[in-house]
A and B are shown apart, each in its own frame.
Chain A
Amino acid sequence: MIAARPSADDAVPAAVVIRGLSHRYGERRALASVDLDVHRGEIFGLLGPNGGGKTTLFKVLATLTPAQEGRVEIFGEDVARAPLAVRRRLGVVFQHPGLDPKLTVEENLRCHAALYGLARSTFRTRSATLLERLGVADRARDRVETLSGGLARRVELAKGLLHGPELLLLDEPSTGLDPGARRDFIDYLVRLRDAEGMTVVLTTHGMEEAERCDRVGFVNRGTLVAVGTPHALKSEIGGDVVVVQTSDPDRLRERIRERFGCEARLVDGALRVELPRGHEFVRAVVDAFPGEITAATFGKPTLEDVFVHLTGHQFWAAEGRESP
Chain B
Amino acid sequence: MTRAAVSSVAALWWREIVRFVRQPSRLVGAFAQPLLFWVLLGGGFSASFRAPGTPADVGALQYFYPGIIALVLLFTAIFATIAVVEDRKAGFLQGVLVAPIPRASIVLGQALGGTTLALVQGILFLILAPLAGIPLTLTSVAMVTVVLVGVAFALTSLGLVIAWRMESTQGFHAIMNLILMPIWLLSGAFFPVAGAPGWLGWVMRLNPLTYGMAALRRALYVAAPTRIGAVPPLGISLLATLAFALATFAAATAVARRTS
Contacts and interface: CB of A to CB of B under 8 A. Distances in A.
Contacts of B18: 102-103, 107
A117 B2 CA distance: 8
Contacts of A87: 98-100
Interface stretch (B68-76, B87-95, B208-216, B227-235): B87-95
A164 interface: no
A203 B12 CA distance: 29
B260 A115 contact: no
B12 to A, nearest CB: 8
Contact of A88 (B6, B7, B23, B100): B100
A116 to B, nearest CB: 6
B11 A116 contact: no
Nearest to A92: B98
B3 interface: yes
B260 A94 contact: no
B45 to A, nearest CB: 40
Contacts of A101: 90
- Most chain A beta-carbon contacts within 10 A, residue among B3, B15, B19, B102: B15
Contact of B99 (A97, A102, A116): A116
Main SS of the interface on chain B? Answer: helix
A115 B101 contact: yes
Contacts of B10: 114
Nearest to A59: B260
B96 A115 contact: yes
A66 B260 CA distance: 8
A65 B258 CA distance: 10
Contact of B95 (A94, A107, A114): A94
A279 to B, nearest CB: 47
Chain B interface category by residue count: 20 to 34
Given A66-B260, A114-B8, A117-B2, A100 B98 contact: no
Contacts of A99: 92
B109 to A, nearest CB: 9
Interface string B209-252: 00000000000000000000000000000000000000000000
Given A99-B92, A100-B19, A102-B18, A62 B11 contact: no
B39 interface: no
- Most chain A beta-carbon contacts within 10 A, residue among B23, B94, B98: B98
A116 B98 CA distance: 10
Interface of A: 59, 62-66, 84-85, 87-88, 90, 92, 94, 96-103, 107, 110-112, 114-117, 159
The 5 A-B residue pairs with the shortest CB-CB distance, nearest first, are A117-B4, A96-B91, A114-B11, A115-B99, A117-B3
27 contacts: A63-B98, A64-B97, A66-B260, A84-B101, A84-B102, A87-B100, A92-B94, A92-B95, A94-B91, A94-B94, A96-B90, A96-B94, A97-B91, A100-B19, A100-B92, A102-B19, A107-B15, A111-B14, A111-B15, A112-B99, A114-B4, A114-B10, A115-B95, A115-B96, A115-B100, A117-B4, A117-B7
